[in-house]
Every structure is written in structure tokens, then in C-alpha cells.
Structure 1
Amino acid sequence: MTEAATGEAGFDPAGFRLTQGDFTFLGEDIQRPECVVALSDGSILASDCHAVVARIGADGRQERVGDGVELPNTFALDGEGNLFVTDLERRTVVKCDEAGASVVLDAFEGGPIGAVNYILGGEAPGEFWLTVSTQLPNLWDAISEPRPDGRILRLEGGNARLVADGLYFPNAMQINTETRELYVAETTAGAVARAKINEDGTLGPMERFGPEPVYEGAFLDGLAIDVDGNVWLTELARNAILVIDPAGHMHTVFEDPEGETLKKPTDLAFGGPDGRTVFVGSLKMKTIPRFRAPVAGMPQWHQRRQVTLNTGIERSEMTGG
């Protein structure tokens, strides 16, 4: 690993590169770990189609948690540690708690919600942000023929409202709490958009952040933000990890076209005791790749509030440790 110089200006991604040897792997036999969440107690949660999530404790013990979701794509926690999950097959948002699984959202404005993809916990209690990647019945039609029919919804108290529209397959999101901006990866545009979060929870105008596209043929998926305001991304075509610095310049820090180390990387989550371990989700792998970054991630609300997974959610099959 080559680390960029750091100083008063912070981390400079222009000089940072990863090699295959910088990756280690966590967990085993996780089916489609699209989403990864790092908690303050040292545990890692990942989407797992064997259940709802796989939980890997700080001691290395792994267990499957939850039931009642057909295709658990992404998830977030509420203040009590319950899971709010996007079911990409049924196109619903499902809550998993000690009572089991229950549908929270399955329609919008009297019609189908669309391909609800990514869910992000907001700063207010009970607030979530949702990307709906397309209105088409078939996801691959929206990928093969890109169209701006994606949207962002804000969910609060079980009620959803539209806050952004006209996006190209919006996917992962994160909030920069310093600037109070929401960033979103637009997969089929191969680019990132951002907007100010207004006091009433609506969004200001979307604007492009960084190159459009980051490079020809790019399909962005995961997105995370570090404490210096750099935006970290995963890209599916080259199995790449990219960084866009605050000035909007894009840097490729790792790419693996043959898929020897990363295969279809999706989500990114900063965690670990110092916030500098980056965990990578994927569509094709059965473990969680991880690497060390020269800078810590911007703490998400569940990390700042030390939220842990509700122990009352159904558990099964403990391994490792």
C-alpha cells in the first residue's frame, strides 16, 4: 500500500494506491453481501440471503439474523437496533424486530414504489432515505438502456415523500454531516450527485460532483465519505475503488478487471477502533474484503450514537470465534 502524504490539508488521494496484498477477508459463506454496516461495538453486518443479515462479532463469531425478506438488498438500523431492509424482489421496505418481519412501505402515491434499492438512516429519529433506482419492472432494462426515472424518497414515521427525481439509477447514499449534503451514486450515469439538506428535510437542487462519467463505461454502486470530505466509490465494470476529492478530481486507488481480489464490489463502510478499516460489500463474493485507509470515515449516526443490533431478532447458526 502506498500512502499519500498527510498534513494540514489532510489526506491526499492522489498518492494513495492499494495492492492485492492490502486486502484481508472477513466471514464465510455469506450469500450476496451487497450491503455492509460497521457498528461501534466492533461488529460488522452484511446482507445475507441465507437470512437477512450476517453478523460478525469483534471476536470473529458469525451468525445469521432475521427472516421474512425474499431478497435483502440493503439495510439500516433504527435507534433500537431493529433492521429496516429493502427487499429488491418484492420491492418493499421491511422492518425486522423481535416480532418478526413486517412491511413498512410497499407503495407510493397510490402505485408501486418501484425498485427500492438503498436505505440510509437519517439524522432525525425514525428518519430514513431511500433510493428507488427505476420504475421499470425489469432492473436490467434500466441498466442496458439508461433513463432518468430514479428518485429519492424520505421516510419518516412510515410516511414517504419525494425529495429528488430524474436520476439515473440512484444507488448508495451518504450524508456529509459537516456540510449537510446528501451524496448519491448514480449507477448508469457513472457519476455522483449531491444536494443540500434543507431544515424541513427536503433537498435542494441536485448538482453533479466530480466527472460525468468518472470514466467511460463506469457503473458506480457504493459510496462512503471520509472525515476530509473525500467521496469513496465502488465501480462494477473494473471491480474498482475510486476516490473523488473535495475539489472534484477523481482518483483510482484500486482496480481488478479480472476479479482476482474484488468481484462486483458494492457497498463501502468505514469502521474499526480508529475508523480507518474499510469493509467492502459485493454481489458475487461470500466474504467481506477489507483494507486500511490513511484517513477515518465520517462517523454515521448509528456509530455516533453507539447503536447495536437488537438481540431479540431471530438468530441462527453461529460459527467461528
Structure 2
Amino acid sequence: MNTSADRRANLVPQIQPTDWIGTDLVRPECVLATAHGDIFTADWRGGVAHIGADGAQRLYTGSPVDGEALKPNGIALLKDGAFLLAHLGAERGGVYRLDRDGQTRPVLQTVDGVDLPPTNYVVEDRQGRFWITVSTRLTPRSLGYRKTCDDGFVVMMDAKGARIVADGLGYTNECVVDAAGEWLYVNETFTRRLSRFAIAENGSLGTKQVVAEFGPGVFPDGLALDVEGGVWVVSIVSNSLIHVTPDGRQTVHIQDVDPDHLAWVEAAYQSSTMDRPHLDGVKSRHLKNISSIAFAGPQLREAYLGCLLGQSILKIAMPVQGVAPTHWNYPGSV
């Protein structure tokens, strides 16, 4: 485990107008890419935005749930072209299936006899299992923006049903299973950790191992794996893209933030007064709260970055090839 990061002098990326993809997106928190050149992102207009390889943009919207519009945070592309959405409702969550014709139906609303709180993320592994995260049980969720947060959990859903397989996490965010299906990597945003769990054959998890602990200003959110065993972690607020080696060493690849703004948020975090305004505003040159990274391109040597407060997706070149996600060869257009 390593707590330090190499912070180089000039980390603001050189961005051209053609590096931005899509327009008028609303809270593109989670981004997916496919081998066919399609991009999908969660969109708080009530569904999923689709940017085709030809640049055409579509929006698939679902029906309201629990009296409010669908609020997809994490999304998963299914083999038949539909989506699973992690619903980040005001008070309740759950996982919903969204077909491209707008048909919406619940997939998971309770687990171990308890209603799912606002739900953060959902991802499929190569064994056809789905991993779902809940950041906190607290209401409002902003009460979990603390270094003492310890009530996040992970759900595994397979053909036998769904059950909680890890609990007591520090604001559980995105997770990913490695290509061999041996490890589940999880970001714990407000305890500032990248952790992992060994996966047993039945889907149960071993004891948590901390891969990396992050320093001041870093709040890990999204993540993706590369073919060399590294993990690429994005941090909200600091607008950072950080490479973590298998032994926990960290290198900051991108950072775009106003130092005074970051210091203001860090002071609130340290005094346990961090709240919505510290996440809902950003002072930067280009990026607007990076929350997601997806490797893309013919050789998986590009990446798309989604931002909580952005309206477009940023494409950047990567120094290493990414691991293809489970949905990589799923059809983009149906």
C-alpha cells in the first residue's frame, strides 16, 4: 500500500475542441465504450445518452420510479442492447432495466430483506454476475462525506439471486472485476482508498486488502484496469487521473483544479463539514469533476472521461492499453 503520489508541475491537459464528444449531456457520471465505437453515458434526463460511431446522438429515457425521474448513476450495457441502471433516488435506490424503447422494470429493489438505499453503481463481470455498490445508508447521503464513513456495501447478483458480499466500506463507489475474475477492485471515496477483495468460486469475497491510500484533495470515484495490472483512478473535486501500480505506487497523470478551491474543500473534509456545495461547484480550466474513465479506441489506447458537472465527454490518449470491459463486443446499435 502506498499513500504518496508524484505530482508533476504541468498536469492540465492540452485540449482541443475536437477532443470533446457529445453535446448537452446532463450529469454524464458513468461512461461506457464499445469496440464498435459507440459511447453510452448515464444522463439525468431520465436514462442513457448514446453517441454512435457516426457522431449521431440519441437519448433513451425510462419511466419514473418511486414518483421521480430515473436518476442513473452507474450504468451497464447488456448483451441484448438494454441497460441496467443504478438508481440514485432521493431516498431509495435499486437497479432497473431500461430497454431502448423506454420500457422500464425493476431488477433489484431489496437485498437481504432490506430496501436498497440510493444506489451508486452496477457492472457485469465475465462470469455473467453483476456487482452493485451502495455508498452509504445515511440520509441525506452527504452525511457520508466523512473520513469516518463505514456503512457502504457491495452486492453480488447472479443466477441464485442477490446478496451483500462486502460491508463496512468508506463510501463505496465504482468497482471492477479483473479479467481473470479473481479480484474485485473498489474505490472508497471518503476514506480515500482503493481496495480489493479476492473472489471465491461462489462469488463470496475474501478479506479486504488496501491497494492504495490517497492523500489530501483526492476523492477516488471511477476506475479502469490496464493490461499491465495497473488501475486508473479518477478523483472528483481535484479533477485528477491517477495511475496506481500493482504495488500501490501512484502517479498523477492529469489534474485540473484551482488550488484555493481544492484547499477549501479539503478544509471542510478535515473538519467533517463537507457538504453538497463542495461537490456541486468546481473551479478548473477544462474538466468539471471527473467521475468516470473508460478505455476505448481500436487498440484500447484512448480513454473517455465523464464529468459530473460536464455536458460532453473528453477523449484523451493513454500511455498503456486498457483491459476490454465485459461489454466491449456487445452491440452498440440494435
TM-score, length-scaled by structure 2: 0.83
- Aligned 1:113-132 pairs, distance under 5 A: 113-125=116-128, 127-132=129-134
Structure 1 residues 99 and 217, CA gap change in structure 2 (3 angstroms): closer
Aligned partners of 2:29, 2:290: CA distance in 1, in Å? 8
The one of 59, 66, 70 aligned to 1:64: 59
Aligned partners of 1:120, 1:228: CA distance in 2, in Å? 21
Q: Does 1:39 align with 2:42?
A: no
Amino acid at match of 1:45: F
Residues 121, 134 of structure 2: 8 Å contact kept: yes
Q: Which moved more, 1:165-174 or 1:67-76?
A: 67-76
Amino acid at match of 1:113: L
Aligned partners of 1:111, 1:310: CA distance in 2, in Å? 36
User: Secondary structure at the residue paired with 1:302?
Assistant: coil
- Aligned 1:81-96 pairs, distance under 5 A: 81-89=81-89, 90-96=92-98
Q: Does 1:147 align with 2:172?
A: no
User: Secondary structure at the residue paired with 1:21?
Assistant: coil
1:49-78 C-alpha deviation (Å, 9 max, x unpaired): 124111111111111113125211111022
Equivalent residue number for residue 318 of structure 1? none
Equivalent residue number for residue 137 of structure 1? 139
Amino acid at match of 1:253: H
1:174-232 C-alpha deviation (Å, 9 max, x unpaired): 1221472111110001110001111111111110002x2x1124211011111111110
Where does the alignment leave 5 or more consecutive residues of structure 2 unmatched? 1-5, 64-68, 259-283
Equivalent residue number for residue 331 of structure 2? 308
Residues 27, 43 of structure 2: 8 Å contact kept: yes
Structure 1 residues 267 and 158, CA gap change in structure 2 (3 angstroms): farther
Aligned partners of 2:151, 2:238: CA distance in 1, in Å? 25
Q: Which moved more, 1:23-32 or 1:284-293?
A: 23-32
Q: Does 1:171 align with 2:173?
A: yes
Shift of 1:274: 1.1
Aligned partners of 1:198, 1:157: CA distance in 2, in Å? 16
Shift of 1:310: 6.3
Where does the alignment leave 5 or more consecutive residues of structure 1 unmatched? 1-12, 312-321
User: Secondary structure at the residue paired with 1:141?
Assistant: helix
Q: Does 1:20 align with 2:10?
A: no
Amino acid at match of 2:44: C
Shift of 1:146: 3.6
Shift of 1:14: 9.8
Equivalent residue number for residue 224 of structure 1? 224
Shift of 1:20: 2.3
> How much is the aligned-residue C-alpha RMSD, in angstroms?
2.1
The one of 21, 24, 27 aligned to 1:29: 24
1:131-174 C-alpha deviation (Å, 9 max, x unpaired): 11111121101114642101110012482111111100110111
Equivalent residue number for residue 317 of structure 1? none
Shift of 1:110: 2.1
The one of 320, 323, 333 aligned to 1:295: 320
Residues 60, 102 of structure 2: 8 Å contact kept: no
Aligned partners of 2:313, 2:20: CA distance in 1, in Å? 5
Structure 1 residues 99 and 28, CA gap change in structure 2 (3 angstroms): closer
Shift of 1:17: 7.6
Shift of 1:96: 1.0
Structure 1 residues 162 and 17, CA gap change in structure 2 (3 angstroms): farther
User: Secondary structure at the residue paired with 1:299?
Assistant: coil
- Aligned 1:238-317 pairs, distance under 5 A: 238-258=238-258, 259-303=284-328, 306-309=329-332, 311=334
Q: Which moved more, 1:143-152 or 1:41-50?
A: 143-152
Equivalent residue number for residue 107 of structure 1? 110
State how many pairs are aligned: 294
Shift of 1:19: 4.0
1:88-114 C-alpha deviation (Å, 9 max, x unpaired): 014111001257000111112222212
Equivalent residue number for residue 7 of structure 1? none
Residues 151, 170 of structure 1: 8 Å contact kept: yes
Shift of 1:27: 0.4
Residue identity (%): 31
Structure 1 residues 235 and 141, CA gap change in structure 2 (3 angstroms): same
Equivalent residue number for residue 6 of structure 1? none
Shift of 1:18: 5.3
TM-score, length-scaled by structure 1: 0.86
